[in-house]
Amino acid sequence: MIARGASPLVFAPLVGTAACMALAILFGARELLYPGLPLGLLFLFLLAFFRDPDRRLGRGIVSPADGRVIEADGERNRVTVFMGVHNVHVNRAPWDGRITKMTYSPGGHAPAYAPEAARNERLETVLDTPLGPIRITQVAGVFARRIVPYRREGDRVKKGQRIGMIRFGSRVELALPEGVRLAVRVGDKVRAGETTVAEVAHGLAR
């Protein structure tokens, strides 16, 4: 499955490859095939990059992103996940709730793992849940020039439901309410919708 909103970008190189092949056959010019090779490789890269596989829902509060944990602050109940180029870049809701506020802030494009990324382009989504407000902040990185939201203010979402995508390397910050206990540490690898990042007071049954 291809991530929502990525199809035009993914299939553009494929159209270019097909055009090169058609022209090469039509005019009998083998050299017209040469531009099609890098376009074909680009298509395969984008197809892999913008994949959007189904996930088996995890217990507790789940990670909103695939990648590696670069911050796990139990005192402030904050978790930050860095998404590398090889990770799935579709983000998911960590818990059931209603989106009460979405705030887009323009900014720079420092490496997403660096402290300077605090001033990067971002989209903060506030999720009103029975546990309290949960803030999900999608942060653009060096190559991530666009944050693509799938939801709007007022929408209700279920845990694990897709909420948006960040193109190319980036990070997602998660600010959790009081009364939860972090279940991840810095360096852990996580998967959106599957990996438990925090346990709730009534356990992990949900």
Q: How many CB atoms lie within 10 A of CB 193?
A: 26
pLDDT tens profile 139-191: 986 655 578 899 999 999 999 999 998 876 688 999 999 989 999 999 999 99
CA atoms of 155 and 68, how far apart (whole Å): 28
Does residue 3 surpass a pLDDT of 80? no
Chosen CATH of 61-199 out of 3.10.129.10, 2.60.40.10, 3.40.50.2000, 2.70.70.10: 2.70.70.10
Spatial neighbors of 190 by CB under 8 A, at least 6 apart, are 63, 65, 66, 67, 68, 69, 81, 184, 197
Read off the amino acid at residue 155: D
pLDDT tens profile 88-131: 889 999 999 999 999 998 876 666 666 666 677 889 999 999 99
CA atoms of 50 and 90, how far apart (whole Å): 8
Q: What percent of the chain has pLDDT over 90?
A: 49
**Residue owning tokens 């939801």:** 151
Element (H, E) at 22: helix 7-27
Residue scoring higher pLDDT (161 or 18): 161
Residue 204 binned pLDDT confidence (cut-offs 50, 70, 90): very low
pTM of the model: 0.81
> Domain extents for the chain?
7-49, 61-199
CA atoms of 123 and 204, how far apart (whole Å): 29
The predicted pLDDT at position 95 comes to 97
Mean pLDDT of the chain: 82
The DSSP letter of residue 44 is H
170 annotated active-site: yes
The predicted pLDDT at position 84 comes to 85
**Which candidate in 7, 63, 105, 170 is catalytic?**
170
The predicted pLDDT at position 106 comes to 81
